[in-house]
Amino acid sequence: MTAIRRLADDREGRLCAELMSTSEPWLTIGRTFDESLKLVQHPEREVYVAFDGETFRGFIILVVNGALLGYLQIIAVTPDARGTGIGSDLLTFAEERLFSQFKNVFLCVSSFNPRARDLYERRGYQAIGEIPDYLIAGHSELLMRKTIGPMVTRSA
């Protein structure tokens, strides 16, 4: 049974950074362990980890202030556990957290990551824009959005 909870300490942060820096799409993007650790340790981010008992299974990073809120910045599952539903559980967790405060969940998926894009589309995300040469030259990031309505509603 996978438990999802807030990142607890530096050891867990390093597990997240190790997973990110050794996985696609971040290998192609060239994100190092130190850069990944900086993202995980960013004081304004919310990081949640998935564990089966003592075994680390994956994590998400959420952005809850700034522009384009709420934003799912990173989602990753350990290679041996992929395809077993943990990513879907993390996505559900992210959506519940972000929709409790915002009307949208935004995320970006790299043009060379069609399997992740398929997952997001099945989960109700729509591609709303393409950002060419954003992280690395020759590839784009696709901005995707899932929504529960407009941010402002006024009665007639």
Ligand X SMILES: CC(C)(COP(=O)(O)OP(=O)(O)OC[C@H]1O[C@@H](n2cnc3c(N)ncnc32)[C@H](O)[C@@H]1OP(=O)(O)O)[C@@H](O)C(=O)NCCC(=O)NCCS
3-state class (DSSP) for residue 147: strand
Q: Of 37, 77, 98, 105, which lies in the binding site for ligand X, with binding defined by CB under 6 A? A: 77
Q: Considering beta carbons, is residue 56 or 153 the nearer one to ligand X?
A: 56
With contacts defined by CB under 6 A, name the span among 6-14, 42-50, 71-79, 123-131 that binds ligand X: 71-79
Q: Helix/strand/coil (H, E, C) string of 18-72?
A: HHHHCCCCHHHHCCCHHHHHHHHHCCCEEEEEEEECCEEEEEEEEECCCCCCCEE
Tell me if 85 contacts ligand X by CB under 6 A: yes
Nearest distance from C-beta of residue 29 to ligand X, angstroms: 10
Sign of the Cα torsion 146, 148, 151, 156 reads positive
Distance of CA 80 to the CA centre of its chain: 19
Q: Of 36, 104, 113, 140, which lies in the binding site for ligand X, with binding defined by CB under 6 A? A: 113
Question: Which of 134, 94, 95 has its CA nearest to residue 111?
Answer: 134
With contacts defined by CB under 6 A, name the span among 1-9, 63-71, 84-92, 98-106 that binds ligand X: 84-92
Q: Of 28, 32, 88, 92, which lies in the binding site for ligand X, with binding defined by CB under 6 A? A: 88
Nearest distance from C-beta of residue 155 to ligand X, angstroms: 38
